[in-house]
Structure 1
Amino acid sequence: MPTGLSADISWSKPNKFIFRFIWIYTLLYTFPFPFNFLPFGQYITQWTDQFWKWLALPVARHLFHITDNLTLQGRGSGDTSLDYIIIFILLTMALVAALIWTLTDRKHNHYNTLFRYQVVYLRYYTALNLFVYAIVKIFPTQFWEPSLIDLTRSFGELSPMGLLWKFMGYSEAYVRFAGIAEALACIFLLFRNTERLGALIGFGVMLNVFVMNMSYDVPVKLFSFHLMFACGIILIAHFNAFLHFFIQNKTVLSQQNIPYTSRKTTRNAGYIFKTILILYVITNYSISSHIRYRKNHDTALLPALYGIYNTDDFMYNRDTLPPLLTDPIRWKQLIVDRNSAVIIKMDDTKIYMKNHTDTTQQRLTLTHFRDAAMQYHFRYTRIGDSILMLRGITGKDSIRMTLNKKDRKDFLLINRGFHWINEYPFNR
């Protein structure tokens, strides 16, 4: 791959072929950028996604002999079987197109100008995508703090991705630090004078993200790799400068910013479009992330019975059930969390429920997420801040119980806090 954008030096045949292949592949992969960041751009994105899926399904069936139903909506996963098949299609199309390009174009000695346009295109693609990830960390909404349910789960119940999410979500300070690093890479990539620094920071940030995704089984491996790869292409444009400065201890000449076009009107139109696009993306994503952050941290939106409750007395059809670990009926705990509730039986079996609280009538309704016929209807009474009494029915059976609320701050993970001075390591 060439390392100078302005030097009029002939490229070798392998360099030209590699450039053609990468140029076509990155264009196919990144499309429909930048339209996906513009108003109504989601429709173009949907049409593009549907096209690739339409193309990938017969390839999966006839070439890879995958007859099972493929996941069409990964619900946030970017590493589905279909995604890998689409990458295979993009690589194949890029290879075929590069071969045709090679056979039909024998007069160009280099592609310096085309490479310059590829670099600027990838700068904006990487910068705006990094900003999206940065803003949901600066206003922490990508990760979430350990919930009440999380605090009562055993460490071994967590998935690798769940462990990473709890680790990140525990500290808003660290999440914001990671977001600021991504935002710095974004800002520096938006301007040619600082693109070297932006690509260097962006590559380091995305390398860390990619390794974390690989290490903790986070299904964004493909996308994080491609963002890291885009930063790598930008860095290649400045390979000689990095080699001279960091390795050979040589003087590095200032970069000459050659105008992309000699027409002043076209340049001004480009500046206007750039400014509008950047301001729109920053404003749109910042406002929406701030609203989500405020909503997630609004304690007024917490359920009225929010808390962890340990069962003291449990009466089932007028029979008091002792706290036996073999009892399939008696409850051990009731957790009313932000978006759900959990009934924990004596053998630690967890039943996840939807909860609805009517504070006027003092009624609590618990409904199973998958089986709507499984419901508990209670009237509740609170005594002070710690005692909760429930009486109600499930089917034809009556239930009465007294529960004792456990304070969230009783957990060491929550109450330990930060200490400037530690006489001894506090590692539990």
Structure 2
Amino acid sequence: MTTPYATGTLPPWKNYEKALFRFFFIYFLLQVLPLDPAFYAHLLQPEEGYPFYGYLFNIARYSPHFLTAEESFLNWLVPALIALVGSLVWSAKDLHRSDYRRLYYWLRVILRYRLALGLIGYGFIKIYPMQSPLPSLSHLNTHYGDLSSWKIFSLTLGVVPGYESFLGWVEILAALLLLYRKTATISAFLVLVYTGNVFMANLAYEGGEHVYALYLISIALFLLAHDAIRLYTLFGLEQATAPDTYRPVFEGNQRSIRLALKSTFILLFLLVYGFAAYRGFREDPYQYPKTAGLPEASGIYEVAEFRLNNRIIPYSAVDSLRWNDVVFEKWATLSVRSNRPAVLDSSNIEVIRVQDKDRLYELAGAAGRHYYNYRVDTQHGILHLENKNRHYADERLELRYTRPNSRQIILQGRNERGESIYVVLNKKDKKYLLEEAAKQGRGKALEL
């Protein structure tokens, strides 16, 4: 049984301290314990071929959804109301308890490991820069004004993978500090600075992770509150400050159980998850599709000729029917830039998907292009295209392709309106600063 040292020497809690503890004890347990049935349904019935690091990321990414499946502060309302009612009932039934130091200690242990888990989940997908990967060819050939604020922020982070990895190491460092009681306050302060910046960035750039960021911040605030008055007295008032004298005592095999649980956490979420994330980064980063595209076709193509219903449509800066350029990615994505309006897909919540058509990072936040996932029928020379934007879910094209030479592709078939199209694509010789800088090395003058 766990008991404190020198219980009789510790002063009793004030009534308001006990009332606040009862509320936060119930509230945070409802927030951190996985009580949401949808969590288990998703965990136990994943997509076929789902990566192992995806399982662990989803566990680390958990937050309760009581009222809506979307990320919303409304989901915090249910645990807050339950905690309010529960704390009132608890107060009425427990009138003579002098303190809750033992429960408070264990609540802090649970919150320390929950916060560490959230930091580890995002830390490794930054260390191995998958969360914000390098821009695709389509991104590099999209007008700046056609990108959302969040997409610009993400691409800006993606072009400096070393910095992204550094941010991941900051999260892992904070998580490691949380695993030890003596350094938990230091980590909580670090989390407030780091994750607070993440929260503000999501608000400023219209990201989708502001709710989860504040969820982690709320846990860090509760952990920091444990030493906040002592820190203010020591550093603010420059007065002598007594440390926390409460210490748990582990009897019998409790010490072995504690060590086994801590070792399991470190083994599973630091070593196994870290290795699995590295393997995913090397073999199948989750943001972009994994299926290889048309062989030796990657690049940007100018539309040399465009026919609609066998009528040549000349280039026009305002024509909504003619294609302006086409990008073939290394993977099986074809993107078309035209003046046909594209309804913005604002998917910006971190989700690991298996199917190529569900990997939406390349089109999320980009309005200047239509993105198509395609399947190649090499025997008949046909591309089967499907618009990846959920606002155009029924848009499918079947285009025959011929390749007169290595730098030209001819497409013909019918567009989304059933009209016949004939498109001659000529590959452009275009250099990109990112690629040239990588080839020539940093600190050298670029020759384009």
Report the CA distance shift for 1:288/1:380 in structure 2 as closer, same or farther (over 3 A).
Answer: farther
Corresponding residue number in structure 1 for 2:304: 312
For 1:78-157, what aligned pairs fall within 5 Å after superposition?
A: 78-79=71-72, 84-157=73-146
Counterpart of 2:27, as a letter, is Y
RMSD: 3.8
CA distance, structure 1, for counterparts of residue 134 and residue 63 of structure 2:
35
Give the superposition deviation at 1:211.
1.6
* Aligned match for 1:366, one of 344, 363, 385: 385
Corresponding residue number in structure 2 for 1:162: 151
Corresponding residue number in structure 1 for 2:167: 178
CA distance, structure 1, for counterparts of residue 69 and residue 38 of structure 2:
18
Give the gaps of 5 or more residues in structure 1: 57-71, 423-428
Corresponding residue number in structure 1 for 2:268: 280
CA distance, structure 1, for counterparts of residue 393 and residue 218 of structure 2:
46
* Aligned match for 1:217, one of 206, 211, 221: 206
CA distance, structure 1, for counterparts of residue 150 and residue 308 of structure 2:
39
Cα-to-partner distance string for 1:73-121 (whole Å, 9 max, x where unaligned):
44xxx22xxxx33311111111111111222222122222222111111
Report the CA distance shift for 1:383/1:252 in structure 2 as closer, same or farther (over 3 A).
Answer: farther
Give the superposition deviation at 1:249.
4.2
Number of residues of Structure 1 aligned to a counterpart in Structure 2 = 386
Question: Is the 2:302–2:428 contact (alpha carbons within 8 Å) kept by the matching residues of 1?
Answer: yes
Corresponding residue number in structure 2 for 1:59: none
Give the superposition deviation at 1:208.
1.5
Counterpart of 1:378, as a letter, is R
Corresponding residue number in structure 1 for 2:216: 227
Report the CA distance shift for 1:50/1:120 in structure 2 as closer, same or farther (over 3 A).
Answer: closer
Counterpart of 1:264, as a letter, is G
Q: Secondary structure at the match of 2:99?
A: coil
Q: Secondary structure at the match of 2:253?
A: helix
Question: Is the 1:336–1:355 contact (alpha carbons within 8 Å) kept by the matching residues of 2?
Answer: no
Corresponding residue number in structure 2 for 1:380: 402
Counterpart of 1:25, as a letter, is Y
Cα-to-partner distance string for 1:370-424 (whole Å, 9 max, x where unaligned):
465642422232634xx223143226736251412343x33x46646786599xx
**Pair 1:289-2:277 in alignment:** yes
Q: Secondary structure at the match of 1:219?
A: coil
* Aligned match for 2:370, one of 326, 329, 351: 351
Report the CA distance shift for 1:134/1:316 in structure 2 as closer, same or farther (over 3 A).
Answer: same
**Pair 1:20-2:22 in alignment:** yes
CA distance, structure 2, for counterparts of residue 122 and residue 51 of structure 1:
15
Question: Is the 2:310–2:420 contact (alpha carbons within 8 Å) kept by the matching residues of 1?
Answer: no
Give the superposition deviation at 1:244.
4.5
Counterpart of 1:26, as a letter, is F
Give the superposition deviation at 1:241.
4.2
Q: Secondary structure at the match of 2:96?
A: coil
TM-score (ref. length: structure 2): 0.74
175-184 vs 332-341, which moves further: 332-341
228-237 vs 390-399, which moves further: 390-399
Counterpart of 1:9, as a letter, is P
Cα-to-partner distance string for 1:50-71 (whole Å, 9 max, x where unaligned):
9964xx4xxxxxxxxxxxxxxx
**Pair 1:237-2:226 in alignment:** yes
Higher RCO (CA 8 Å, separation ≥ 6 residues): 2
CA distance, structure 2, for counterparts of residue 52 and residue 326 of structure 1:
45
* Aligned match for 1:393, one of 413, 428, 440: 413
CA distance, structure 1, for counterparts of residue 38 and residue 323 of structure 2:
50
413-422 vs 198-207, which moves further: 413-422
Report the CA distance shift for 1:326/1:111 in structure 2 as closer, same or farther (over 3 A).
Answer: closer
Percent identity, aligned pairs only?
22
Question: Is the 2:301–2:425 contact (alpha carbons within 8 Å) kept by the matching residues of 1?
Answer: no
Report the CA distance shift for 1:108/1:296 in structure 2 as closer, same or farther (over 3 A).
Answer: same
Corresponding residue number in structure 1 for 2:316: 324
CA distance, structure 1, for counterparts of residue 313 and residue 371 of structure 2:
22
352-361 vs 85-94, which moves further: 352-361
Question: Is the 2:411–2:422 contact (alpha carbons within 8 Å) kept by the matching residues of 1?
Answer: yes
Report the CA distance shift for 1:148/1:277 in structure 2 as closer, same or farther (over 3 A).
Answer: same
Give the gaps of 5 or more residues in structure 2: 1-5, 46-57, 343-368
179-188 vs 349-358, which moves further: 349-358
Counterpart of 1:390, as a letter, is I
Question: Is the 1:324–1:346 contact (alpha carbons within 8 Å) kept by the matching residues of 2?
Answer: no
Corresponding residue number in structure 2 for 1:60: none
Q: Secondary structure at the match of 1:238?
A: helix
